[in-house]
Amino acid sequence: MKNNYKIVIDLLGSDKGPEEMLEGARLVLEEFPNVDVILAGPKSLVDVAGLPAGRCQVLNAEKTVTNYDNPVEAFYRKEPVSVFLALEEAARNDEVIGVINAGNTGALFAGAIRYLLADKKVRPCVAAILPTTQDGFTCMVDTGASIDCGPVQLVEFAHLGSDFMKRMYKLEAPRVGLLSNGVEPTKGNKLVKEAHALLAQDPGIHFVGNIEGNKTLSGLCDVLVCEGFAGNQVLKNSEGMAVNLITEIVKYGKQHQLPAAQQIVAHLMSRFDFASLGSGVMLGTRKPVLKSRGSCDRVAIKNAARILVNLAENKSMYDES
């Protein structure tokens, strides 16, 4: 018998608007009969959406945090803000298995620290699980939550990523690499050089050295550590290159009438499906928080819910043992 779960979805803040997020919630309810949703957003909008009342609750909020707002100032607004209501609900409601958000990363990060910071009090980071050419996966941390951080924080990210890969993918000693502009220990900026020295000395980390940007999907490491600015660029560039490559193959196949091109495209789209891989998992929180891309669609929200269900079924993922 399947367990029953609840997922909180923040309707506000995405590029495609709350209507697309609502349609994502509809797909979640259709695909997962054991999952109910709690929607943070305008109640008036949810009321006319026609979602099953018995499986849908609303945290009424008309406000969000835009990319032009200061997240800290937004946190102290008197009026309800959807992202903070969503995180607060996850913190107090034991039935909630996680939160899905496609809005302002800074606001999500600030709210997660306020309501869901794990007992270890380590600064959270957002991990992206990327496919490699070795048919495995690499956990890249951080992908945008911490734009400015120090070498000690990069070591903490390495521990969070290693712990995730141990629990989720059953790796005994995940290989940790450090994103740099060269494989030599002397390469990189001040932050990378100092982090390299700390990682090399840490007995709890299986450090394999620097990884260059063109090797991020090569499978040379199981955890790739970087600060949020670089990680976000790697993530978006990887997606952009995958989309461009697939588009060019489609065009070439049509121009030269090559049926095999369709098979190649289908394979690439299954391997680099950013609708399913595009949600970052926040590590260092008591419950999983998924940060979806601002441009995500309804299918991406459904796939994010699948990630939360998988994490909930893996009972050891978010315990403190």
CA dihedral 269, 295, 225, 88 (to 10 degrees): -130
Tens-digit pLDDT profile for residues 246-273: 889 889 888 888 888 888 878 777 766 6
Contacts of 146 (CB under 8 A, 6+ apart): 109, 123, 125, 153, 227, 228
18 with 90: CB under 8 angstroms? no
Do 129 and 269 share a structural domain? yes
Do 253 and 133 share a structural domain? yes
Put simply, whether the predicted model's pTM sits higher than 0.75 gets the answer yes
Does some domain include residue 199?
Answer: yes
Do 147 and 33 share a structural domain? no
Q: 36: domain CATH number? A: 3.40.718.10
- What are the Cα distances from residue 12, in Å, to 101, 128, 277, 303? 8, 22, 21, 18
Give residue 291's pLDDT: 94
Does some domain include residue 321?
Answer: no
Rounded mean pLDDT, 111-115 = 94
Do 184 and 168 share a structural domain? yes
What value, to the nearest 5°, has the Cα angle with vertex 224 and ends 221 and 226? Answer: 155
- Alpha carbons 26 and 102: distance in angstroms, whole number: 16
Give residue 321's pLDDT: 45
pLDDT bracket for residue 131 (50, 70, 90): confident
- Alpha carbons 198 and 153: distance in angstroms, whole number: 11
Do 60 and 176 share a structural domain? no
Reference 144, options 86, 84, 103; nearest CA is: 103
Give the CA count within 13 Å in the CB-facing half-sphere of 92: 6
- Domain limits for position 52: 5-117+285-313
Max mean pLDDT among 7-16, 75-84, 256-265, 277-286 falls in: 7-16
Cis upstream peptide for 319 (omega within 30°): no
Does some domain include residue 318?
Answer: no
**pLDDT of 22 above 90:** yes
> What's the mean pLDDT when you consider all of the chain?
90
Reference 270, options 244, 242, 289, 249; nearest CA is: 242
Question: Considering the chain, what percentage of its residues have pLDDT values greater than 70?
Answer: 95
**14's tokens:** 């995405």
**Which amino acid makes up residue 17?**
G
* Number of domains the chain contains: 2
What value, to the nearest 5°, has the Cα angle with vertex 285 and ends 2 and 9? Answer: 60
Give residue 256's pLDDT: 84
